[in-house]
Amino acid sequence: MNEKDIKDLARYSKALGHPIRIQILKVLTSSPCCYTGDIAEELPIARSTLSQHFKELKEAGLIKGEYNPPKIKYCINKENWDNAQRLLCGLFNQFKIISE
């Protein structure tokens, strides 16, 4: 794993570090794209809090958003999603625990 991969993995991992973000990703991976209002109906949190979680996922590159007034449509960023999956799988495959 090179330095760029390590930095990418850390960025993705940080974004995945909250249960609400995992739920958002679960919703987004089950459909091509979703509007914030649709996701807000599924998750029991305030819209302003949900907005912060979208921001974190977007900054990590795991999702992308498109502003269509008055709504924002979010989708999985396929390229980065595939990269995150590759890096996370590689991490767990690379660092095997030695059994006693």
| Six-digit token string for 66 | 């498109």
Strands (E), the chain: 34-35, 63-68, 71-76
Using 50, 70 and 90 to split pLDDT, how confident is the model at 82?
very high
Per-chain mean pLDDT for the chain: 91
Domains of the chain: 3-91 (1.10.10.10)
Task: Kindly state the percentage of the chain with pLDDT values over 90.
Answer: 66
- The mean pLDDT value for 33-37 works out to 87
What is the value of pTM for the model shown? 0.88
Residue 71, pLDDT above cutoff 90? no
Specify the residue for token string 């940080």: 14
Categorize the per-residue pLDDT at 99 as very low, low, confident or very high, splitting at 50, 70 and 90.
low
What is the Cα–Cα distance from 87 to 36, expressed in whole angstroms? 28
Q: Which of 65, 81, 63 is nearest to 73 (CA)?
A: 65
Give the pair of three-digit tokens for residue 7: 């930095």
